[in-house]
């Protein structure tokens, strides 16, 4: 299950990147590539429908574009469809397996790092756990100037097509979204003492690949844990759009 999840994440990000960069001959650093790869976008307004794989609506030939694989805009020439996409959607699918969550939904129902996201962002879920994959790459103009004055150019060289993204855990009980760093991961692993001890005993426990590996182990453990409630059982009030 762990390797399957890793492959799914890689597949999703590769497809999203290909959709964004595969149109025209412009370089990867240019933005707003219009995509015509997805003829139909499936709309989901409830977690129950998402878990059942039954969309609430479909949009044929939408307009899809974005700056990076982590910030994708989906819109339409029809105003009613635009309003639905901006107000009444939890998540959408592109093709058979690419899930994108509405940042508006996250901002409305969750605190913490939810405010970082824009438009639709890649996410992964099952009956018991959900998380977003995201990479921020833009610094403010003021911070760029400050970094330049200090001679620091590398800190703003993040490449959204090459750099590794971060995982953001969606906590339905606390209504928060938090980046999975070493501190957050140790907190999550508290429920599974053996995993927590193994992780914290790792020499390189702060390295990205180690954190990613143990977060996937956590997702697998939660998924297999019969005592863990399902998402729909601990849903925050108002978090399902009808």
| pLDDT value, residue 96 | 72
Q: Which residues contact 191 (CB under 8 A, 6 or more apart)?
A: none
Integer Cα distance of 171 and 222 in angstroms: 13
pLDDT at residue 104 is higher than 60: yes
Neighbours of 70 (CB within 10 A): 25
Task: Output 217 or 40, whichever has higher pLDDT.
Answer: 217
pLDDT at position 126, please?
92
Could you read off the pLDDT of 124-177 as tens digits, one per residue? Answer: 999 999 999 998 765 433 434 444 444 444 444 455 445 678 999 999 999 999
**Mean of pLDDT values over 69-73:** 87
- Kindly report, residue by residue over 172-208, the tens digit of the pLDDT: 999 999 999 999 999 999 999 999 999 999 999 999 9
pLDDT for position 153: 44
Give the pLDDT confidence of 16-31 residue by residue, as tens digits.
Answer: 666 555 433 233 333 3
pLDDT of residue 19: 56
Q: Mean pLDDT for the chain?
A: 80
State residue 144's pLDDT score.
40
Contacts of 46 (CB under 8 A, 6+ apart): 56, 90, 240, 241, 242
Q: How confident is the model at residue 43 (pLDDT cuts 50, 70, 90)?
A: very high
The token duo for 133 is 């994959």
Q: Which helix (H) or strand (E) holds 35?
A: strand 33-35
- Provide mean pLDDT across the span 217-225: 95
Burial 38-51 (b: 16+ CB within 10 A, else e): beebbbbbbbebbe
The stretch 76-97 carries a mean pLDDT of 88
Instruction: Note the pTM of the prediction, 2 decimals.
Output: 0.81
């Amino acid at each position: 299950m762990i390797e399957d999840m890793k492959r799914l994440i890689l597949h999703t990000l590769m497809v999203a990147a290909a959709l964004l960069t595969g149109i025209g001959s412009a370089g990867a650093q240019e933005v707003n590539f219009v995509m015509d790869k997805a003829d139909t976008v499936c709309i989901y307004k409830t977690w129950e429908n998402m878990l059942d794989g039954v969309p609430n609506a479909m949009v044929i030939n939408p307009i899809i574009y974005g700056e990076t694989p982590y910030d994708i805009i989906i819109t339409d020439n029809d105003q009613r469809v635009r309003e639905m996409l901006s107000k009444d959607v939890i998540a959408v699918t592109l093709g058979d397996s690419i899930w994108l969550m509405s940042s508006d939904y996250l901002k409305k129902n969750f605190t913490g790092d939810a405010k970082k996201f824009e438009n639709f962002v890649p996410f992964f879920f099952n009956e018991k756990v959900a998380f977003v994959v995201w990479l921020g790459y833009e610094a403010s103009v003021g911070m760029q100037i400050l970094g330049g004055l200090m001679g620091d150019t590398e800190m703003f060289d993040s490449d959204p097509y090459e750099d590794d993204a971060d995982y953001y855990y969606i906590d339905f009980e606390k209504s928060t979204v938090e980046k999975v760093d070493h501190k957050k991961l140790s907190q999550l692993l508290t429920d599974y003492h053996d995993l927590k001890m193994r992780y914290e005993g790792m020499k390189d426990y702060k390295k990205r690949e180690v954190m990613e590996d143990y977060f996937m182990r956590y997702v697998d453990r939660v998924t297999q844990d019969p005592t863990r409630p399902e998402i729909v059982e601990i849903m925050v009030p108002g978090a399902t759009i009808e």
